[in-house]
Copies of this chain bind each other. A is one copy, B any other.
Amino acid sequence: MTTLVFGHKSPDTDSTGSPIIWAWYMNEVQGVPAKPVLLGEPNTEAAFMLQRWSLDKPEIIEDVADGQACVVVDTNNPAELPANINGADVRAIIDHHKLVGGLETRGPIEVTIRPVACTATIMHDLIGADMDKMPEAIKCAMLTCILSDTLEFRSPTTTDHDREVAEKLAAELGISIPDYAEEMFAAKSDISAFSDAELLRMDSKEYEVDGVKFRVSVLETTSPATVLNRKDSLMEAMKAVAEEDGVDQVLLFVVDILNEESTLIVPNDLVRTVAKKSFGAEAEGDTVALPGVVSRKKQIIPNLKV
Copies of this protein in the assembly total 2
- Quick one: closest B residue to A91, CB to CB? B115
Q: Which residues of B contact A171 (CB under 8 A)?
A: none
Q: A271 to B112, alpha carbons, bound, how many Å?
A: 39
* Interface residue ranges of A285-306 to B (CB < 8 Å): 297
Determine if B115 and A99 form an interchain contact, defined as CB atoms under 8 angstroms apart.
no
Determine if A104 and B113 form an interchain contact, defined as CB atoms under 8 angstroms apart.
no
Say yes or no for A101: interface residue by CB 8 A criterion: yes
Q: Which residues of B contact A113 (CB under 8 A)?
A: 108-112
Q: Which residues of B contact A178 (CB under 8 A)?
A: none
Q: A107 to B302, alpha carbons, bound, how many Å?
A: 9
Determine if A115 and B104 form an interchain contact, defined as CB atoms under 8 angstroms apart.
no
Partner of A98, one of B100, B102, B106, B115: B106
Determine if A114 and B108 form an interchain contact, defined as CB atoms under 8 angstroms apart.
yes
Determine if B115 and A112 form an interchain contact, defined as CB atoms under 8 angstroms apart.
no
Say yes or no for A32: interface residue by CB 8 A criterion: no
Q: A107 to B102, alpha carbons, bound, how many Å?
A: 16
* Interface residue ranges of A83-142 to B (CB < 8 Å): 90, 93, 96-116
Determine if B103 and A99 form an interchain contact, defined as CB atoms under 8 angstroms apart.
yes
- Quick one: closest B residue to A112, CB to CB? B112
Most buried by B among A93, A99, A105, A112: A99
